[in-house]
Amino acid sequence: MANNLNIEVAPLSRVEGHGDLILDVKNKKIEKLIFRIPESPRFFEAMLVGRKYDEPSHITSRICGICSVAHTCASIKATEKALDVKPSDQTIKLRKLIYHHENVQSNVLHVYFLAAPDFFGVGSVIPLAETHREIVNIALRTKKMANDMVRIIGGRAVHPIRTVVGGFTKLPTEEEMIKMKEMLKLCYTDLEKSLEVLKTLDIPDFKRETEYISISDPVDYALYNGKIKSTDGWEIDDQNYLDKINEKVVQHSTAKHCWASRDAFMVGALARFNNNHDKLTDNAKKYAEELGLKAPCYNTFMNNIAQFVEIVHSVDDSIRLIDEILEEGLDEDKAMAEIKPKAGKGVGVVEAPRGLLIHDYTYNDKGRVEKANLIIPTGMNYANIEKDMHALVPSIIGKSEDEIRLACEMLIRAYDPCVSCSTHFLKVKLINR
């Protein structure tokens, strides 16, 4: 039993980029709890200033190898809004299609490679390849499928190059569309097998209600487009995000903390599920039900399950989109919309795999960026991560130090945090006092 604890996990293993957790407990009371991110998020904003309208999407796609389609699309949407560019319906459908598969790429990586080792008690994906080879193979097959989808549509498996302001520089062929549909159909056996395995996981029983924010659409389970919606009952146009989303500088992190109706909120798969669960495909709803995921869900650890349910939805909805595109016929004349540089301001809001992602650009009359503001989902989650830790730690204070440390790491990992920082170090330090 731990009366006094001083835990520093620096950096957290299996978190994209790196972050620190500092936890100081005296006489079973938390004296200090900080989730600290040593990143420099403002670098890219400064870098965009002066760039021509066709550059920001390529530059920001390099912020992150896991969220490159999300940054590309948020950037393109912001520019198209500012320049009053109207992409065709065909373009929107193809963007939604590529978008699904970055979500699949990322969710597969997180559910199977980064979170599953905790639940199977094996430490990392390397021993998992020995103890649960089939799970690793399923993950690899599904990720390969999603990579191929992104490559066929975007021209590359990461950092797509065909997805540009106005549309696509090159369209997939009809044969490629048919091939993609066949690839998608092959996923179902693996999804069924995964379902049976995930049902056996012992998800920690943790509950803390917070505000859940995502985009939302009357028809789609929104990933690419929608209004910004909160479980606290408000919904706003994405151009007006500043009416609700507030940022503040905190001393212990270079990333800002965000709040809306309360002092913290959560974004990501669980927030999307809580706001938009009724827009999932019937098949994905069935998976959610079998895995005990019901809205509203206040257990952060269930974010992993929501990510898996989204994989099922993305596979289902991609087949629907391909059928629609094929039925309408791919039309080269609709590949690119007309672009005329002009002064203007535009906001692009999408759901990155980790949650709401906002790009806000102001252009001058030459079509060059004058000002840029980027708000990343992990930044929005920081405050909520700390609130969750404050709720979790007292409930497990009677456990051993190792168990407490693991539980804290698992909770942070459940957010699938990404700090847009591609450095990795191999050591995880635990310092006890």
Q: Which one of residues 10, 74, 152, 158 is an interface residue with other proteins (CB under 8 A)?
A: 158
CB-based burial, 281-293: b 16+ in 10 Å, e otherwise: bebbbebbeebeb
Q: Which one of residues 70, 116, 157, 305 is an interface residue with other proteins (CB under 8 A)?
A: 157
Helix 269-276 with 303-328: angle, nearest 10 deg: 70
Q: Does position 159 bind other proteins by CB under 8 A?
A: yes
Q: Which one of residues 423, 430, 431, 432 is an interface residue with other proteins (CB under 8 A)?
A: 423
Q: Which one of residues 109, 165, 347, 411 is an interface residue with other proteins (CB under 8 A)?
A: 109
Give the separation between CA 128 and CA 133, rounded to whole angstroms: 7
Minimum CB separation of residue 372 from other proteins in Å reads: 14
Closer to other proteins by Cβ: residue 141 or 368? 141
Count residues near other proteins (CB under 8 A).
Answer: 38
User: Which 337-356 residues touch other proteins, going by CB under 8 A?
Assistant: none
Which contiguous run of DSSP H or E holds residue 168? Answer: strand 167-168
Contact characters 29-68, other proteins, x per CB under 8 A: -----------x--xx--x-----------x--xxxxx-x
**Cβ neighbours, 10 Å, residue 328:** 12
Give the separation between CA 44 and CA 76, rounded to whole angstroms: 15
Minimum CB separation of residue 316 from other proteins in Å reads: 24
Closer to other proteins by Cβ: residue 41 or 166? 41
| Paired residues of 25 in beta bridges | 5, 30
Q: Does position 415 bind other proteins by CB under 8 A?
A: no
Instruction: Report the sign of the C-alpha dihedral through residues 105, 305, 287, 124, in that order.
Output: positive
Q: Which one of residues 11, 17, 167, 268 is an interface residue with other proteins (CB under 8 A)?
A: 17
Minimum CB separation of residue 106 from other proteins in Å reads: 9
| Paired residues of 35 in beta bridges | 21
Q: Does position 126 bind other proteins by CB under 8 A?
A: yes
Query: In a 3-state reduction of DSSP, which class is residue 163?
Result: strand
Residue 305, CA distances (Å) to 274, 296, 322 in order: 13, 14, 26
Give the separation between CA 59 and CA 40, rounded to whole angstroms: 16
Q: Does position 186 bind other proteins by CB under 8 A?
A: no
Q: Which one of residues 9, 114, 258, 269 is an interface residue with other proteins (CB under 8 A)?
A: 114
Q: Which two tokens stand for residue 382?
A: 């920081």
Contact 337, 85 (CB under 8 A): yes
Footprint of other proteins on this chain (CB under 8 A)? 14, 16-17, 40, 43-44, 47, 59, 62-66, 68, 109, 113-114, 124-127, 129-130, 136, 140, 143-144, 147, 156-159, 421-426
